[in-house]
Amino acid sequence: MRRRSRNNNILKTVGLSSILAVGIGGLSYIAWQSMGKATADEYGCFDKAPQRQTVVLVDVSEPKFNEEQTRSLYRYFNRLYSKLEFNERLSVVTTAEDQIGSVPKPRFHVCGQATNPEQLKAINADAATSGYLIRQRERLYEHKFAPAMSEILSPNTGSRQRYQSPILEMVQGIRRFHPLRPGDRLVIVSDLIQNSDSVQFCRKKNDMPPFSIFKKKSIYGRLKPESLEGIEVEVLMIQRHGYGTNDLSHCYSEDELRRFWRDYLIANGASDPSFVRVRHGIIGD
Protein backbone atom coordinates (compact mmCIF):
# COMPACT_ATOMS: atom_id res chain seq x y z
CA MET A 1 0.00 0.00 0.00
CA ARG A 2 2.80 2.38 0.84
CA ARG A 3 4.46 1.70 -2.54
CA ARG A 4 1.17 2.40 -4.39
CA SER A 5 0.66 5.60 -2.39
CA ARG A 6 4.21 6.67 -3.15
CA ASN A 7 3.65 6.00 -6.88
CA ASN A 8 0.42 8.02 -6.83
CA ASN A 9 2.23 10.94 -5.22
CA ILE A 10 4.93 10.76 -7.86
CA LEU A 11 2.32 10.73 -10.63
CA LYS A 12 0.52 13.72 -9.07
CA THR A 13 3.78 15.61 -8.80
CA VAL A 14 4.66 14.87 -12.41
CA GLY A 15 1.16 15.90 -13.51
CA LEU A 16 1.27 19.20 -11.63
CA SER A 17 4.73 19.89 -12.98
CA SER A 18 3.48 19.27 -16.51
CA ILE A 19 0.52 21.62 -16.01
CA LEU A 20 2.80 24.32 -14.59
CA ALA A 21 5.25 23.85 -17.45
CA VAL A 22 2.47 24.16 -20.01
CA GLY A 23 1.07 27.25 -18.23
CA ILE A 24 4.46 28.92 -17.98
CA GLY A 25 5.17 28.01 -21.56
CA GLY A 26 1.87 29.53 -22.64
CA LEU A 27 2.53 32.76 -20.76
CA SER A 28 6.03 32.90 -22.19
CA TYR A 29 4.64 32.46 -25.68
CA ILE A 30 2.10 35.26 -25.10
CA ALA A 31 4.85 37.51 -23.74
CA TRP A 32 7.06 36.64 -26.70
CA GLN A 33 4.21 37.39 -29.08
CA SER A 34 3.66 40.76 -27.37
CA MET A 35 7.31 41.82 -27.47
CA GLY A 36 7.66 44.89 -29.65
CA LYS A 37 3.91 45.34 -30.01
CA ALA A 38 2.63 48.92 -30.11
CA THR A 39 0.23 49.67 -27.26
CA ALA A 40 -2.14 52.59 -26.76
CA ASP A 41 -2.51 54.66 -23.59
CA GLU A 42 -5.86 55.15 -21.88
CA TYR A 43 -6.65 57.97 -24.33
CA GLY A 44 -6.19 55.75 -27.36
CA CYS A 45 -2.79 57.15 -28.38
CA PHE A 46 0.10 55.12 -29.80
CA ASP A 47 2.95 57.43 -28.85
CA LYS A 48 5.61 55.68 -30.94
CA ALA A 49 3.50 55.56 -34.10
CA PRO A 50 3.25 58.43 -36.61
CA GLN A 51 0.98 61.18 -35.33
CA ARG A 52 -0.64 64.23 -36.82
CA GLN A 53 -1.20 66.92 -34.19
CA THR A 54 -4.28 69.09 -33.69
CA VAL A 55 -4.03 71.61 -30.86
CA VAL A 56 -7.14 73.56 -29.85
CA LEU A 57 -6.90 76.73 -27.77
CA VAL A 58 -10.20 77.48 -26.03
CA ASP A 59 -10.56 80.96 -24.54
CA VAL A 60 -12.75 80.54 -21.44
CA SER A 61 -12.58 84.16 -20.28
CA GLU A 62 -15.67 85.96 -19.05
CA PRO A 63 -18.22 86.39 -20.46
CA LYS A 64 -18.17 82.72 -21.37
CA PHE A 65 -20.21 81.19 -24.19
CA ASN A 66 -23.97 81.47 -23.96
CA GLU A 67 -26.06 78.32 -24.25
CA GLU A 68 -26.69 78.74 -27.97
CA GLN A 69 -23.01 79.22 -28.72
CA THR A 70 -22.22 76.24 -26.53
CA ARG A 71 -24.48 74.01 -28.60
CA SER A 72 -22.71 75.17 -31.76
CA LEU A 73 -19.33 74.42 -30.24
CA TYR A 74 -20.46 70.96 -29.14
CA ARG A 75 -21.45 70.22 -32.73
CA TYR A 76 -18.10 71.45 -33.98
CA PHE A 77 -16.06 69.39 -31.52
CA ASN A 78 -18.14 66.26 -32.07
CA ARG A 79 -17.49 66.58 -35.78
CA LEU A 80 -13.80 67.23 -35.12
CA TYR A 81 -13.59 64.05 -33.01
CA SER A 82 -15.41 61.95 -35.59
CA LYS A 83 -13.01 63.03 -38.34
CA LEU A 84 -9.74 62.48 -36.49
CA GLU A 85 -7.29 60.41 -38.50
CA PHE A 86 -5.97 57.20 -36.98
CA ASN A 87 -3.66 58.15 -34.09
CA GLU A 88 -4.10 61.89 -34.72
CA ARG A 89 -3.57 63.53 -31.32
CA LEU A 90 -6.14 66.13 -30.35
CA SER A 91 -4.89 68.28 -27.46
CA VAL A 92 -7.10 70.94 -25.86
CA VAL A 93 -5.49 73.90 -24.08
CA THR A 94 -7.55 76.54 -22.27
CA THR A 95 -6.97 80.00 -20.82
CA ALA A 96 -8.37 78.95 -17.43
CA GLU A 97 -6.65 80.45 -14.41
CA ASP A 98 -4.89 77.18 -13.55
CA GLN A 99 -3.70 76.68 -17.13
CA ILE A 100 -2.17 79.94 -18.30
CA GLY A 101 1.58 80.22 -18.08
CA SER A 102 4.77 80.20 -20.07
CA VAL A 103 4.36 76.48 -20.83
CA PRO A 104 0.73 75.76 -21.78
CA LYS A 105 -0.37 72.35 -20.57
CA PRO A 106 -3.24 70.55 -22.34
CA ARG A 107 -6.38 70.16 -20.27
CA PHE A 108 -6.71 66.73 -21.90
CA HIS A 109 -5.92 64.82 -25.08
CA VAL A 110 -7.37 61.94 -27.10
CA CYS A 111 -6.33 60.24 -30.32
CA GLY A 112 -8.23 59.17 -33.40
CA GLN A 113 -9.07 55.46 -33.40
CA ALA A 114 -8.40 52.85 -36.04
CA THR A 115 -11.30 52.22 -38.39
CA ASN A 116 -10.00 48.92 -39.77
CA PRO A 117 -7.67 46.11 -38.58
CA GLU A 118 -5.09 46.90 -41.27
CA GLN A 119 -4.26 50.21 -39.58
CA LEU A 120 -3.33 48.37 -36.38
CA LYS A 121 -1.32 45.81 -38.29
CA ALA A 122 0.64 48.58 -40.01
CA ILE A 123 1.99 49.85 -36.66
CA ASN A 124 2.50 46.34 -35.18
CA ALA A 125 -0.37 46.60 -32.68
CA ASP A 126 -2.60 43.74 -31.56
CA ALA A 127 -5.33 42.94 -34.08
CA ALA A 128 -8.99 43.75 -33.45
CA THR A 129 -12.24 43.22 -35.29
CA SER A 130 -14.06 46.05 -37.02
CA GLY A 131 -16.90 45.76 -34.48
CA TYR A 132 -14.48 46.10 -31.58
CA LEU A 133 -12.92 49.20 -33.16
CA ILE A 134 -16.33 50.85 -33.45
CA ARG A 135 -17.11 50.12 -29.80
CA GLN A 136 -13.66 51.34 -28.73
CA ARG A 137 -14.22 54.68 -30.51
CA GLU A 138 -17.61 55.03 -28.79
CA ARG A 139 -16.15 54.19 -25.36
CA LEU A 140 -13.35 56.73 -25.76
CA TYR A 141 -15.91 59.37 -26.70
CA GLU A 142 -18.24 58.56 -23.79
CA HIS A 143 -15.63 58.16 -21.05
CA LYS A 144 -12.89 60.61 -22.03
CA PHE A 145 -13.78 63.11 -24.74
CA ALA A 146 -17.40 64.05 -23.95
CA PRO A 147 -16.93 64.61 -20.18
CA ALA A 148 -13.80 66.71 -20.74
CA MET A 149 -15.45 68.89 -23.38
CA SER A 150 -18.55 69.29 -21.20
CA GLU A 151 -16.34 70.61 -18.39
CA ILE A 152 -14.66 73.09 -20.72
CA LEU A 153 -17.66 74.32 -22.72
CA SER A 154 -20.41 74.54 -20.12
CA PRO A 155 -21.51 78.18 -19.86
CA ASN A 156 -22.28 77.90 -16.14
CA THR A 157 -19.67 75.53 -14.72
CA GLY A 158 -16.22 74.22 -15.52
CA SER A 159 -12.96 75.98 -16.26
CA ARG A 160 -13.12 79.77 -16.21
CA GLN A 161 -10.92 82.82 -16.56
CA ARG A 162 -12.30 85.90 -14.83
CA TYR A 163 -9.48 88.38 -15.33
CA GLN A 164 -7.36 87.69 -18.40
CA SER A 165 -7.64 86.55 -21.99
CA PRO A 166 -3.95 86.13 -22.95
CA ILE A 167 -4.51 84.79 -26.46
CA LEU A 168 -1.28 86.13 -27.97
CA GLU A 169 0.77 84.67 -25.13
CA MET A 170 -0.98 81.30 -25.39
CA VAL A 171 -0.45 81.03 -29.15
CA GLN A 172 3.21 81.84 -28.60
CA GLY A 173 3.47 79.20 -25.86
CA ILE A 174 1.70 76.55 -27.93
CA ARG A 175 4.08 77.08 -30.85
CA ARG A 176 7.10 76.94 -28.58
CA PHE A 177 6.23 73.86 -26.54
CA HIS A 178 4.01 71.71 -28.77
CA PRO A 179 5.58 69.76 -31.65
CA LEU A 180 3.48 71.27 -34.42
CA ARG A 181 4.87 70.47 -37.86
CA PRO A 182 3.75 71.25 -41.40
CA GLY A 183 0.45 69.46 -41.96
CA ASP A 184 -0.62 69.83 -38.31
CA ARG A 185 -3.51 72.01 -37.21
CA LEU A 186 -4.12 74.85 -34.74
CA VAL A 187 -7.68 75.81 -33.80
CA ILE A 188 -8.41 78.99 -31.81
CA VAL A 189 -11.80 79.35 -30.12
CA SER A 190 -12.13 82.92 -28.81
CA ASP A 191 -13.84 86.27 -29.10
CA LEU A 192 -10.30 87.49 -30.03
CA ILE A 193 -10.41 90.27 -27.45
CA GLN A 194 -6.86 90.02 -26.09
CA ASN A 195 -6.64 91.10 -22.44
CA SER A 196 -3.44 90.64 -20.43
CA ASP A 197 -0.70 92.59 -18.73
CA SER A 198 0.84 93.11 -22.16
CA VAL A 199 -2.02 94.59 -24.17
CA GLN A 200 -5.76 95.09 -23.78
CA PHE A 201 -7.67 95.07 -27.06
CA CYS A 202 -10.83 97.18 -27.14
CA ARG A 203 -10.39 98.33 -23.55
CA LYS A 204 -7.31 100.50 -23.88
CA LYS A 205 -6.84 103.13 -26.57
CA ASN A 206 -4.21 102.35 -29.20
CA ASP A 207 -3.54 98.83 -27.85
CA MET A 208 -5.02 97.34 -31.04
CA PRO A 209 -3.94 99.47 -34.00
CA PRO A 210 -3.77 97.84 -37.45
CA PHE A 211 -1.31 94.96 -37.28
CA SER A 212 1.08 96.75 -39.64
CA ILE A 213 1.58 99.27 -36.82
CA PHE A 214 1.29 96.85 -33.91
CA LYS A 215 4.16 94.66 -35.18
CA LYS A 216 6.52 97.66 -34.94
CA LYS A 217 5.84 98.08 -31.22
CA SER A 218 8.48 96.89 -28.78
CA ILE A 219 5.91 94.76 -26.93
CA TYR A 220 5.43 92.63 -30.03
CA GLY A 221 8.97 91.37 -29.71
CA ARG A 222 7.83 89.51 -26.58
CA LEU A 223 4.61 88.21 -28.14
CA LYS A 224 5.72 87.09 -31.59
CA PRO A 225 5.27 83.31 -32.03
CA GLU A 226 7.46 80.88 -33.90
CA SER A 227 6.50 80.44 -37.53
CA LEU A 228 3.12 78.93 -38.39
CA GLU A 229 4.26 78.04 -41.89
CA GLY A 230 2.65 74.85 -43.14
CA ILE A 231 0.25 74.66 -40.18
CA GLU A 232 -3.48 74.71 -40.87
CA VAL A 233 -5.06 77.47 -38.77
CA GLU A 234 -8.78 77.74 -38.07
CA VAL A 235 -10.37 80.42 -35.87
CA LEU A 236 -13.83 80.04 -34.33
CA MET A 237 -14.71 83.63 -33.50
CA ILE A 238 -17.23 84.03 -30.68
CA GLN A 239 -19.48 86.96 -31.48
CA ARG A 240 -19.96 89.60 -28.77
CA HIS A 241 -22.41 92.47 -28.49
CA GLY A 242 -21.50 96.06 -27.72
CA TYR A 243 -18.46 96.76 -29.89
CA GLY A 244 -17.60 100.46 -29.61
CA THR A 245 -19.25 100.92 -26.21
CA ASN A 246 -18.41 100.45 -22.53
CA ASP A 247 -15.57 97.90 -22.04
CA LEU A 248 -15.27 97.47 -25.81
CA SER A 249 -15.20 101.17 -26.61
CA HIS A 250 -11.83 101.04 -28.44
CA CYS A 251 -12.75 98.51 -31.10
CA TYR A 252 -15.69 99.22 -33.34
CA SER A 253 -16.64 95.93 -34.96
CA GLU A 254 -15.81 92.26 -35.17
CA ASP A 255 -14.47 92.98 -38.67
CA GLU A 256 -11.77 95.14 -37.08
CA LEU A 257 -10.80 92.30 -34.74
CA ARG A 258 -10.85 89.70 -37.49
CA ARG A 259 -8.71 91.88 -39.76
CA PHE A 260 -6.07 92.28 -37.03
CA TRP A 261 -5.89 88.54 -36.32
CA ARG A 262 -5.87 87.54 -39.97
CA ASP A 263 -2.95 89.92 -40.62
CA TYR A 264 -1.18 88.61 -37.48
CA LEU A 265 -1.55 84.97 -38.53
CA ILE A 266 -0.49 85.56 -42.14
CA ALA A 267 2.50 87.65 -41.04
CA ASN A 268 3.61 84.70 -38.92
CA GLY A 269 3.45 82.13 -41.70
CA ALA A 270 -0.16 80.88 -41.83
CA SER A 271 -0.97 80.79 -45.54
CA ASP A 272 -4.77 80.83 -45.49
CA PRO A 273 -6.27 81.02 -41.97
CA SER A 274 -10.00 80.40 -41.94
CA PHE A 275 -12.44 82.31 -39.73
CA VAL A 276 -15.82 80.97 -38.63
CA ARG A 277 -18.31 83.14 -36.73
CA VAL A 278 -20.07 81.50 -33.79
CA ARG A 279 -23.24 83.58 -33.41
CA HIS A 280 -26.65 83.00 -31.92
CA GLY A 281 -26.05 79.25 -31.74
CA ILE A 282 -25.10 79.04 -35.42
CA ILE A 283 -21.65 78.50 -36.89
CA GLY A 284 -21.67 80.77 -39.90
CA ASP A 285 -19.34 82.48 -42.34
pTM of the model: 0.84
pLDDT exceeds cutoff 90 at 100: no
Structure confidence at residue 166 (pLDDT): 93
154 and 59 share one domain: yes
The per-residue pLDDT for range 189-208, each reduced to its tens digit, is: 999 999 999 999 999 999 99
Whole-angstrom distance, CA of residue 170 vs CA of residue 34: 41
103 and 241 share one domain: yes
Of 107, 82, 110, 80, which Cα lies nearest the Cα of 96?
A: 107
List C-alpha distances in Å: 58 to 166, 215, 237.
11, 24, 11
**How confident is residue 283, by pLDDT bands cut at 50, 70 and 90?**
low
Whole-angstrom distance, CA of residue 161 vs CA of residue 95: 6
Beta bridge partners of 88: none
Structure confidence at residue 2 (pLDDT): 47
Instruction: Classify residue 48: in a domain, yes or no.
Output: no
Averaged over 25-36, what is the pLDDT?
43
* Residues 232 and 88 sit within 8 Å (Cβ to Cβ): no
Structure confidence at residue 5 (pLDDT): 52
151 and 97 share one domain: yes
Sign of the CA dihedral with 246 first, then 249, 253, and 254 last: negative
166 and 258 share one domain: yes
Structure confidence at residue 104 (pLDDT): 83
Instruction: Classify residue 117: in a domain, yes or no.
Output: yes
Give the range of the structural domain holding residue 116, as residue numbers without chain letter: 53-284
Report the domain count for the chain: 2
The per-residue pLDDT for range 52-80, each reduced to its tens digit, is: 999 999 999 888 888 899 999 999 999 99
4 and 71 share one domain: no
Structure confidence at residue 157 (pLDDT): 60
